[in-house]
């Protein structure tokens, strides 16, 4: 092959020096016995080919696939401009300039031409006349180099000829090495005995027969490893998982082969998957334009989210109507919720998780979440033992919701770092088989500084769970009743048009399950519904009765809660940490100021303020103009 560089021009003629070089090359190549010359369509390469042909007597064939690299908008311009368009030489392999081609494009056409010429002219000596870049990437491809390896490969000199060693390798349609079919079928082996051509036999038994024989063939049974099969160590399989179409393929042939060998069942359990459809229930097809690229979904949402969606959307054997919106829901209600629980622990609870908490009675919420954790581990394990993957995932999913929306929310002010760390670590173990990357990240985030823990969640023991005691079962039932009654009471609030921040005096409940219940449970119910007390009354006509009368004292408490919410919102807007002390500035009407002033001590405590100024400050970090009831308010905060 010979390289000629024309800087993008198709009409550049040979100079006197170029003609002399070509004539010298012709004399040299005349001794090589050249049979055919294939050349680029560019004028200069065709001139060179004619001069060499005159000396060698070889026929010249023009092949447009041997043309110079198409540089698009950079054709005919300074090559430094073209190079500036790319981040690196490797970038040139995949990135095409406007109107041009990449080096991968050039490699594809060059290899296509050379492989075709080679197959059609066996036994002939061929000369290729082309250009620097195309010959460079073609030589790299012929040597079996990747794009990255090609970067450092020798670049051909202008006017120089060299031999191309085209090996008997399988090249795909892009000119790259590929040992798969159909490319490997083009490779022939030479028989060492007779020198004949050896090739793969095209017609073989159904490939599923090979798959069906797999349990035995993989151990070379019965010629080796007889004990592994005969004693049941490697046969039958515990379970097999494949699509429903395998009822005529792998599922069937496994049974057929094992039956022929008088071995009985080849597997103990079967998980058979339904087909994936689009959101309208239509089969996915390129012609319909409804095919979803899984890699795009994984890139956008993460592989664990995609996995979890398929576990939980419906039973394995049913058809699945895929809707990307469902991936977003899965991300938010499982992974973001779990992540936010970790962030809460990292912000508020990690300091108390290393042994700093004093010995004291375990709060009822901590007892409850620990009991729930054991219940979830026990239930998930039982489901997995039955190969009910989706049911196990749903149990964990419900627990993530309980952890965030009930335990953390209800114990936010007095969270136990030790309890929360234990729960999150166990949750990481439970999630690991379903969401291996997220489970690992959560585990490492919790245990990085813990020398007692294993470095990977995938190397720790599965949490078996503990069988619920009578006490823990009663607590779980009582807490479930508390949550049920809370939802009814909140519905009564909404019906009466009273916001949750407005305290009320009392809530009456009829539930026998809470008669004589732990005082702490009633306090949780009262706090959730925002009432002063919960009273048991067996004579109620309905399950709950909410006292909706708002006294002046209760009204003032509601006003203060609104103000606290505003200030806490400003703290968040300013990205303050919980430890940051602030100065609060308030501009309020006289009536509202009187209410706030007499409760200012509690307000400072609630918002972690060093002081409160009842004036419009000139300096502040963030501000807010709003209303509380009929009064306009201006609030601002700055670090103290």
pLDDT of residue 552: 92
pTM above 0.85, yes or no: no
pLDDT at 584 over 80: yes
Whether the bond between 538 and the residue before it is cis, its omega within 30 degrees of 0, is: no
Strand partners, 531: 504
What is the pLDDT confidence band of residue 358, given thresholds at 50, 70 and 90? Answer: low
DSSP character at residue 446: H
Give me the pLDDT at residue 68, please: 93
Residue 626 pairs in a beta bridge with: 633
β-strands 320-321, 276-277 pairing: parallel
pLDDT at 178: 80
pLDDT of 8 over the 50 cut: no
Residue 468: is its pLDDT beyond 90?
no
Residue 9: per-residue pLDDT: 46
pLDDT in the model for residue 397: 96
pLDDT > 90: percent of the chain: 59
Question: What are the tens digits of pLDDT across the range 515-555?
Answer: 777 888 999 999 999 999 999 888 888 999 999 999 999 99
165: confidence class by pLDDT, cuts 50, 70, 90: confident
Under CATH, what is the fold of the domain 471-546?
Answer: hypothetical protein PF0899 fold (3.30.2320)
Residues 195 and 199: their CA atoms lie apart, in Å, by: 13
Average pLDDT of the chain to the nearest whole number: 89
Give me the percent of the chain exceeding a pLDDT of 70: 95
pLDDT at site 248? 85
Whether pLDDT at 356 is above 60 = no
CA 635 – CA 574 distance, rounded (Å): 13
For 324-463, which CATH class? Answer: mainly alpha
The average pLDDT across 454-481 equals 83
Consecutive H or E run containing 584: strand 582-587
**Residues found in the chain:** 640
369-398 mean pLDDT: 94
Q: Angle at which helices 600-607 and 590-598 pack, to 10 degrees?
A: 70
* pLDDT at res. 353: 58
Summarised one tens digit per residue, pLDDT across range 181-214 is: 777 777 778 888 888 888 877 766 777 888 889 9
| Three-class DSSP category at 623 | strand
- 25 in Cβ contact with 161 (< 8 Å): yes
Q: Which residues contact 98 (CB under 8 A, 6 or more apart)?
A: 72, 73
What is the predicted pLDDT for the residue at 440?
96
pLDDT tens digits, one per residue of 510-522: 888 877 778 889 9
For residue 234, what are its two tokens? 């490697």
pLDDT at 514: 78
Mean pLDDT of 243-267: 90
Higher-scoring residue by pLDDT: 42, 1: 42
> Between 3.90.1260.10, 3.40.50.1240, 3.30.200.20, 3.90.1150.10, what CATH number should domain 2-167 receive?
3.40.50.1240
pLDDT of residue 7: 46
Q: Which residues, other chains included, contact 319 with Cβ-Cβ below 8 Å and sequence gap of 6+?
A: 274, 275, 276, 277, 281
Backbone angles phi, psi at 565, to 5 degrees: -60, -40
> Across residues 451-468, what is the average pLDDT?
80
Chain centre to alpha carbon of residue 182: 32
344 or 200, higher pLDDT: 344
**∠ CA(543), CA(544), CA(546), 5° rounding?**
165
Least confident piece of the model among 137-151, 270-284, 342-356, 594-608: 342-356
């Amino acid at each position: 092959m010979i390289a000629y560089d024309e800087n993008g021009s198709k009409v550049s003629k040979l100079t006197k020096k170029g003609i002399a070089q070509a004539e010298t090359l012709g004399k040299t190549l005349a001794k090589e016995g050249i049979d055919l010359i294939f050349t680029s369509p560019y004028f200069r390469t065709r001139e060179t080919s004619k001069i060499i042909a005159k000396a060698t007597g070889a026929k010249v064939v023009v092949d447009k696939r041997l043309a110079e690299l198409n540089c698009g908008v950079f054709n005919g311009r300074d090559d430094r401009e073209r190079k500036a368009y790319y981040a690196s030489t490797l970038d040139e392999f995949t990135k095409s300039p406007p109107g041009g081609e990449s080096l991968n494009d050039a490699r594809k056409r060059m290899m296509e031409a050379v492989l075709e010429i080679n197959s059609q002219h066996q036994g002939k000596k061929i000369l290729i006349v082309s250009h620097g870049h195309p010959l460079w990437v073609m030589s790299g491809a012929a040597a079996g180099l990747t794009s990255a390896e090609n970067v450092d490969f020798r670049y051909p000199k202008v006017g120089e000829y060299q031999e191309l060693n085209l090996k008997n390798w399988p090249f795909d349609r892009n000119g790259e090495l590929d040992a798969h079919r159909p490319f490997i079928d083009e490779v022939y082996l030479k028989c060492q005995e007779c020198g004949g051509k050896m090739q793969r036999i095209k017609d073989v038994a159904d490939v599923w027969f090979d798959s069906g024989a797999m349990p035995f063939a993989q151990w070379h049974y019965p010629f080796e490893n007889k004990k592994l099969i005969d004693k049941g160590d490697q046969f039958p399989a515990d379970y097999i998982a494949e699509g429903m179409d395998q009822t005529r393929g792998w599922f069937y042939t496994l049974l057929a082969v094992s039956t022929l060998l008088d071995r009985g069942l080849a597997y103990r359990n079967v998980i058979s998957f339904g087909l994936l459809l689009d959101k309208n229930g239509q089969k996915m097809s390129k012609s319909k334009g409804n095919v979803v690229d899984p890699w795009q979904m994984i890139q956008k949402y993460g592989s664990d989210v995609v996995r979890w969606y398929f576990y939980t959307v419906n039973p394995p054997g049913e058809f699945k109507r895929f809707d990307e919106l469902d991936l977003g829901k899965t991300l938010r209600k499982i992974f973001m919720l779990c992540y936010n629980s970790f962030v809460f622990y990292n912000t508020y609870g990690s300091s108390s998780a290393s042994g700093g908490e004093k010995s004291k009675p375990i709060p009822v919420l901590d007892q409850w979440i620990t009991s729930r954790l054991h219940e979830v581990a026990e239930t998930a394990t039982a489901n997995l033992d039955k190969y009910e993957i989706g049911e196990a995932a749903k149990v964990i999913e419900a627990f993530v919701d309980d952890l965030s929306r009930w335990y953390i929310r209800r114990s936010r002010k007095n969270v136990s770092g030790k309890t929360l760390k234990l729960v999150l670590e166990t949750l990481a173990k439970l999630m690991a088989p379903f969401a291996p990357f997220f489970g690992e990240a959560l585990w490492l985030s919790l245990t990085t500084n813990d020398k007692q823990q294993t470095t990977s969640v995938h190397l720790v023991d599965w949490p078996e769970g503990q069988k619920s005691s009578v006490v823990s079962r009663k607590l779980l039932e009582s807490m479930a009743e508390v949550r049920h009654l809370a939802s009814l009471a909140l519905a009564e609030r909404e019906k009466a048009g009273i916001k949750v921040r407005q305290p009320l005096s009392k809530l009456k409940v009829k539930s026998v399950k809470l008669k004589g219940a732990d005082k702490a449970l009633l306090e949780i119910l009262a706090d959730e519904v925002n009432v002063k007390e919960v009273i048991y009354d067996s004579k109620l006509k309905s399950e709950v009765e909410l006292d909706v009368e708002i006294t002046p004292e209760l009204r003032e408490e509601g006003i203060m809660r609104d103000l606290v919410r505003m200030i806490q919102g400003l703290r968040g807007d300013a990205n303050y940490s919980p430890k940051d002390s602030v100065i609060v500035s308030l501009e309020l009407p006289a009536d509202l100021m009187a209410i706030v002033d007499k409760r200012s001590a509690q307000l400072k405590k609630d918002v972690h303020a060093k002081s409160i100024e009842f004036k419009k400050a000139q300096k502040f970090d963030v501000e807010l103009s709003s209303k509380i009831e009929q009064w306009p308010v201006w609030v601002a905060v700055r670090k103290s």
